[in-house]
Amino acid sequence: MPDPSPRGATPPRPPRASLRTSVVWEVLRDALDRRAEATGGETLDILDTGGGSGSFAVPVAQLGHRVTVVDPSPNALFALERRAAEASVADRVRGVQGDVHGLFDVVERDGFDAVLCHGVLEYVDDPAEGLRNVVAALRPTGVLSLLAAGLGGAVLARALAGHFTEARQALADPAGRWGDADPVPRRFTAEQLTGLASDAGVDVGAVHGVRVFADLVPGALVDTEPGALDALLRLEAAVAELPAFHSVATQLHVLGVKHR
C-alpha cells in the first residue's frame, strides 16, 4: 500500500489496480473538486453505495471528504474499517450495513454532495428503483458517479476467448448474460444506463468507457514491458469519452448532477 496522503493531497495510485480505476478516479476527483468549489467548502459529504472494502471511499477520504459506505457485506465493512485505519482516515470514513433498496433505513435523504454507485445496478432486483433511491440521497445539483458492467465488453471478451455461442447469447439476452454460469446478473448499454440516470432525475454530463483494452491485454506484457502500464493508462484515458469505444468497454461510467 502507498503511504497515507496528507489531508487534502492527491492519493498515489496503486500501479496495477490503476488499470481498473484510473479513468473513473480522475473523472470523479475532478467532479468533487468542482462540487467543493461550487459549495464554497473544502469538505464534502460523500455516499458510496456498495462501496465494499473502500477502494474508492478511502482515496476520497484522503482528499479530505467525509465518506459513508453502505454495503450488505459485514466482511467488506470490516475490511473497509481496517483499510481506513491504515490510511489514517478512520475519522472520515463510516461503514453501515445495508443496500440501495433499503437505503433510507441507514442514511438520510438529500444529505450528500456526491453519491458513488459503482458495481451495484448489475446485482439489484430493480435497477430503476435502486437508482432512484441513490439519486434521492443527493442534495440538489449533487454529483452522481454511476459505474456498471457493459454489454459490449462481455460479448467481445467471450468472442476473443473462442466462446462464440456464448457471445451471441449475451448479445441476444435481455440481461446481457452469456449463460447460466455467468457471474454477472445484468449488463447495460450506454443508452440503457444514461436512460436510467435521466429517469431518476439526473442531468447526464458525460459517459466514459472503462477498461476498453485493459482486460484484453495480457497481464505479463503490462507487468514486464517497460513503460507498458503508463502507455496503456494513457490509451484508456484517450478513448474513454469517445462514443465509438463505449460499445466494447468492460464497464460504463456515467457522470451527472441531480436536477435542482
Nearest to 142 by CA among 116, 115, 119: 115
Residues of the chain with CATH 3.40.50.150: 18-150+188-258
pLDDT of residue 10: 47
pLDDT of residue 219: 78
Cα→Cα distances 256→132, 187, 192, Å:
14, 20, 15
pLDDT of residue 17: 58
- Helices 18-39 and 228-239: crossing angle in degrees, nearest 10, is 50
pLDDT of residue 256: 97
- pLDDT tens, position by position, 21-73: 889 999 999 999 999 999 998 899 999 999 999 999 999 999 999 999 999 99
Residues of the chain where predicted confidence (pLDDT) is lower than 50: 1-16
pLDDT of residue 84: 97
Determine the topology of domain 18-150+188-258 in CATH.
Rossmann fold (3.40.50)
- pTM comes to 0.91
pLDDT of residue 221: 81
DSSP result, 55-86: TTHHHHHHTT-EEEEEES-HHHHHHHHHHHHH
